Amino acid sequence: MKSWKFRRHVRVSRTGLPAGVELMQNPILNKGTAFTEEERESLGLRGLLPPDVQTMKQQVKRVMENFRRKETDLGKYIHMLSLQDRNETLFYRVLIDHLEEMMPIIYTPTVGKACQLYGHIFRRPRGLFISSKHRGKIAEVMQNWRYVDVRIIVVTDGERILGLGDLGADGMGIPVGKLSLYTACAGIPPEQTLPITLDVGTNNEELLNDPLYIGVKERRLTGKEYDDFFEEFVSAVQEVFPHALIQLEDFGNHNAFRLLRDYRDRICTFDDDIQGTGAVALAGLYSALRITGEKLEDQSVLFLGAGEAGIGIGDLIVAAMVDEGLPEEKAKRRNWFVDSKGLVVKSRTDLAEHKLAYAHDHEPVPDFLSAIEALKPTAIIGVSGQPGTFTQPVVEAMSKLNERPIVFALSNPTSKSECTAEEAYRWSKGRAIFASGSPFDPVTLDGTTFIPGQGNNAYIFPGVGLGVIACEARHVTDEMFFVAAKVLAGMIRKENLAKGSVYPTLTRIREVSAEIATAVAEVAYERDLAGRPRPDDLREHVESLMFVPEYESYI
């Protein structure tokens, strides 16, 4: 039987577990109607449950019946969140067994709508809300968390939630959703995960005037106040949860690049919007080249959007091109960016620091279509958060230049996608190699059915996190993401490629995560970054750490 590491003492039975109502209110331990007659007797549950003892299979059937009765995706989201609050083992059994159906509900695109309405659908808090009012006592606040052996923290300050902008404390849906995927996709035990929102205020006028907004109704902290607050947060994590990896999620561009730069060599951390997105996009590009038969070093990539995601992808593509033998400067010149003011070129004086590495010598170009005509790219990658920007003329221009144009519309949620799968296939007459950030249904065109790939970061970050835990890595490096991309691309089967999909099916996600985790841990051992001795069989060790949602006997 597991030895549960609780922060606080609770009423316990003679078995050492919480008893009665306290046991049933603990979502990690609760089994609901699956408690056996013997458990009900010894754990003080008589009369607290209906008399019929049911199997997990019966419970899953009930959950799915009610799930499918919900008329809206938001209703389905609330239904699953309520289940997670009651019984996490059952929640993860349902999620794993129905991942393709559940993923769009638990995460993009539905989580975006849930965040926009978070204060209005709020039922029960999950994770920690650490606000600007907690300055000077953040470590004390962290001590309130029930579990002590936290290994993964996903933290946001809510400033740039998906492509939806500043949602303040309502952005908590993102860390909660990401950590659900850590457990479902890579088997991180749920009690080892902790979602955190740093509520430093919001500049969203609608939220500031919303009587149901759950966060601090003040303008965002900036400058030294913000930096001191974040530094205290990091120090508190190191004190209270010394083995935890900190995943940065949905910070604004002006903070994201700086925080990653300042902390990546000090603590165990990464930014999923920069590094995770880079890895999943690179993996998709590798797969696309298996279809075209071309080399990465010969590609010319044009990005729409020059924020965290775009620069993260560009940096990793450059690293991959260098790995194939291209000099770094030449590799950078094969990656071009268009932002809201046109092509990023050296003569511009309005460029943020993170764009400067990709400011090449070229005459100014005002828009994306003109940039395609001037640069003749082999691939376009949309990370702009601006829907409909991959227009018919854009896709047709790419199709004139390339026999198999690579069109990745990666902005989330679905409502922000640069184009739909159906548009990409129709406008290219079925020749586009398409991937998106949020899911699209299969498309049938002239008798051929295409199954678009979803460039979901869930293919990458859960495996990276599992690998970090497996070897207790002290830092997370770009090399780990580069290796993760290679592993992911190598796991795509020919039949997936034949149908136009550049990613494996979600049904293989735990296998993918285990492979990535093993490769990431290997990098840590090779670079002397591991905090524990290397096991004889690293893959076996990784798999031994993966949580399987099955009920334990408490007798």
On the question of pLDDT at 317 being above 50, the answer is: yes
Cα(530)–Cα(534) distance, integer angstroms? 8
pLDDT at 10 over 50: no
Looking at the predicted structure, is the pLDDT value of residue 5 above 80? no
pLDDT of 8? 45
pLDDT in tens, 502-549: 999 999 999 999 999 999 999 999 999 999 999 999 999 999 999 999
Domain-by-domain residue ranges, the chain?
Answer: 1-54, 71-267, 277-458
Report CA-CA distances (Å) from 203 to 222, 248, 259, 418: 11, 20, 20, 26
For residue 341, pLDDT over 80 is answered with yes
Task: Give domain 71-267's CATH superfamily.
Answer: Malic enzyme, N-terminal domain (3.40.50.10380)
Contacts of 356 (CB under 8 A, 6+ apart): none
Q: What is the reported pLDDT for 373?
A: 97
Q: How confident is the model at residue 384 (pLDDT cuts 50, 70, 90)?
A: very high
From the number of C-beta atoms within 10 Å of its C-beta (0-12, 13-18, 19+), residue 300 rates as middle
Its CATH architecture, for the domain 1-54, is Up-down Bundle (1.20)
Residue among 124, 153, 151 nearest 138 (CA)? 153
- Whether the per-residue pLDDT at 59 is higher than 80: the answer is yes
Q: Is 133 a catalytic residue?
A: no
pLDDT score of 1: 43
Domains 1-54 and 71-267 agree in fold: no
SS3 245: strand
Q: Could you tell me the pLDDT band of residue 381, with boundaries at 50, 70 and 90?
A: very high
Structure tokens at 48: 């607290």
Span 156-173, pLDDT tens digits: 999 999 989 999 999 999
What is the DSSP pairing of strand 443-445 with strand 448-450?
A: antiparallel
**pLDDT value at residue 19:** 87
Going by C-beta distance under 8 Å and a sequence separation of 6 or more, which residues neighbour residue 9? none
Residue 274 CB neighbours (<10 A): 27
Which of 463, 458, 436, 517 minimizes the C-alpha distance to 180?
A: 458
DSSP class of residue 252?
-
pLDDT at 85 over 90: yes
Q: How many other C-beta atoms lie within 10 A of the C-beta of residue 441?
A: 10
Mean pLDDT of 289-297: 95
Task: Calculate the dihedral angle through the C-alpha atoms of 58, 61, 66, 72, rounding to the nearest 10 degrees.
Answer: 150
Q: Is residue 6 pLDDT above 80, yes or no?
A: no
The mean per-residue pLDDT over the stretch 124-150 comes to 96
Q: Dihedral of CA 203/231/250/223: which sign? A: positive
N-term to C-term CA, the chain: 9
Is the pLDDT confidence value at 334 over 70?
yes
Q: Hey, what are 51's tokens?
A: 């008399």
State what percent of residues in the chain have pLDDT above 70: 97
Q: How confident is the model at residue 14 (pLDDT cuts 50, 70, 90)?
A: low
Q: How confident is the model at residue 15 (pLDDT cuts 50, 70, 90)?
A: low
Q: Give the span between the Cα atoms of 523 and 358, in whole angstroms.
A: 28
What the block records as the tokens of 9 is 């003492």
Measured between alpha carbons, how far is 538 from 535 in angstroms, rounded to an integer? 6
DSSP letters, 260-309, are: HHHHTTTSSEEEIIIIIHHHHHHHHHHHHHHHH---GGG--EEEE--SHH
Can you give the pLDDT at residue 13? 53
Cα–chain center distance at 38: 41
- Average pLDDT for residues 221-250, to the nearest whole number? 98
Q: Residue 555 has which token pair?
A: 């007798």
53-57 mean pLDDT: 98
> What b/e string do you get for 109-128 counting C-beta neighbours within 10 Å, with b at 16 or more?
bbbbbbbbbbbebeeeebbb
What topology is assigned to 277-458 in CATH?
Answer: Rossmann fold (3.40.50)
Which one of 31, 76, 113, 178 is the catalytic residue?
A: 178
Report yes or no on whether pTM surpasses 0.75.
Answer: yes
Average pLDDT (315-320) is 95
- What are φ and ψ of residue 63, in 5° steps? -60, -45
**Average pLDDT of the residues in 384-399:** 97
Mark whether 178 is an active-site residue: yes
Please state the rounded mean pLDDT for residues 209-213.
97
The pLDDT mean for the chain works out to 95
Side-chain-side CA neighbours of residue 316 (13 Å): 30
User: For 432-460, how does the pLDDT look when each residue is reduced to its tens digit (9 = 90+)?
Assistant: 999 999 889 999 999 999 999 999 999 99
pLDDT at 2 over 60: no
Q: Which is catalytic among the residues 31, 76, 77, 107?
A: 107
Is pLDDT of 190 > 50? yes
Q: Does position 3 have pLDDT exceeding 70, yes or no?
A: no
